Amino acid sequence: MSFLHLSKFFIPLSLLLVAGSIFLMIQPGPEFSIEFTGGTLVELKLPEGETKDDLVSAVQAFTPSTGIAFGNIASASTKDGTVMLRMRNLSNEEHVELLGHLQTGSQEIRELQYTTIGPTVGASLKKRAGWALIVASLAIIIYLAAAFRKIPGRMSPWSFGIAAVVALLHDIIITVGVFIIIGWYTTFEVDTLYVSALLSIMGYSVNDTIVIFDRIRSNLITDGKRESLESIVDRSLLETLTRTMNTGIGALIMLLVLFFFAAESIRWFILTLIVGTIIGTYSSFFVASPMLVWWQKRRGRKT
């Protein structure tokens, strides 16, 4: 089985998925949590007979003493029968007045969560999350270039770092695209836990790729003078296939167990890791390694 021949089919597929994900990131874009946008999040337990629409209507019909209406309210129901309301920033007085208004009926509405984050804090978190992804990518390129600096032949050690980062950016972009689509049908929102999951995916993807690259380097040292780079890369991928699949399947088994039995608060985090693990394993074989061969051919033509 030739992985490089298979990559002629998978590379266009990856390009299509990346392009589609980038389009989704621009329009309509991901749904950010109040950690990034700022605002107030209220989780309420409704009494029997009441619906989410009834609650939203009651909130929108109420005007606090400040005279400022609540405006547009984003709402979502959870599996536990509660309703999440996201709205503009509320002061403590407005919060108390709203709860008093909602609890004027015969059945009491119970508040389970109340969180307010200012727009300045949200913007700062968004900026830091972006910088975290950029710094991690640059650090990986430098680390791999240093780790593979003694690569034999005329291959550039930078090609290993750049190929690995191209693969992990492929993983991150497609994962974000997948979750934008998931957000259309669920209550998913991009929060700091999700960004942590993306950074974890970067680590997993690079770890997988380094194992394959290290085998390529070993085979280049022993057979680089009598065997082509394409042949060495193909053989290295085949030699690491069992190890990579066993690692990926083992990780997926653990993550699937956590997804079904862990707390609701980390379920999106676990699902992100599941999607990232699948895409990261795929990209190590069909994106990173073909990218390494392409880079060397391009460099060879210039020299």
Task: Give, in order, the Cα–Cα distances in Å from 74 to each of 26, 43, 114.
Answer: 21, 12, 15
Q: What percent of the chain has a predicted confidence (pLDDT) above 70?
A: 92
Residues in Cβ contact with 189 at an 8 Å cutoff, skipping those fewer than 6 apart: 31, 32, 33, 183
Extended beta strands in the chain, E state? 39-45, 74-77, 82-87, 110-117
Do 187 and 108 sit in the same domain of this protein? no
274 pLDDT more than 90 = yes
If you average pLDDT over residues 20-29, what whole number do you get?
A: 92
Domain stop point among 117, 146, 170 = 117
Do 50 and 157 sit in the same domain of this protein? no
Q: Which residue has the higher pLDDT, 41 or 273?
A: 273
CA distance 107 to 6: 63
* Residue 233: half-sphere exposure toward Cβ, Cα within 13 Å: 23
Q: Write out the two tokens for 28.
A: 């309509």
Q: Write out the two tokens for 137.
A: 């990518």
CA distance 220 to 226: 10
Residues in Cβ contact with 254 at an 8 Å cutoff, skipping those fewer than 6 apart: none
Q: Are 157 and 149 in contact (CB under 8 A)?
A: yes
CATH number at residue 73: 3.30.70.3220
Do 47 and 159 sit in the same domain of this protein? no
How many domains does the chain contain in total? 2
pLDDT tens digits, residue range 188-232?
888 888 888 988 888 888 888 888 988 888 888 887 677 888 888
DSSP string, 194-237: HHHHHHHHHHHHHHHHHHHHHHHHHHHHHHTTTS-HHHHHHHHH
Residue with tokens 């700022």: 38
Averaged confidence pLDDT in the chain = 83
Q: Which residue has the higher pLDDT, 15 or 195?
A: 15
CA distance 116 to 38: 7
**pTM score:** 0.81
Rg (CA), the chain: 25
Do 145 and 87 sit in the same domain of this protein? no
CATH number at residue 181: 1.20.1640.10
**Residue 44 bridge partners (DSSP):** 83, 111
pLDDT tens digits, residue range 140-194?
878 877 877 777 666 777 888 888 888 989 999 999 999 999 988 887 888 888 8
Angle at the Cα of 124 (from 121 to 129), degrees rounded to 5? 125
Task: Give, in order, the Cα–Cα distances in Å from 235 to each of 19, 145, 240, 290.
Answer: 31, 23, 9, 13
Do 148 and 175 sit in the same domain of this protein? yes
Domain stop point among 117, 132, 156 = 117
Residue with tokens 């650090």: 139
Do 223 and 151 sit in the same domain of this protein? yes
Do 202 and 254 sit in the same domain of this protein? yes
Range of the domain at 62: 39-117
Do 11 and 57 sit in the same domain of this protein? no
**Residue 111 bridge partners (DSSP):** 44
Do 84 and 232 sit in the same domain of this protein? no
State the maximum Cα–Cα separation within the chain, in Å, rounded to a whole number. Answer: 85
pLDDT for the residue numbered 91 = 82
Q: Which residue has the higher pLDDT, 108 or 61?
A: 61
The CA dihedral of 146, 209, 170, 189, to the nearest 10 degrees, is -100
Domain stop point among 117, 133, 153 = 117
If you average pLDDT over residues 96-121, what whole number do you get?
A: 75
pLDDT for the residue numbered 7 = 85
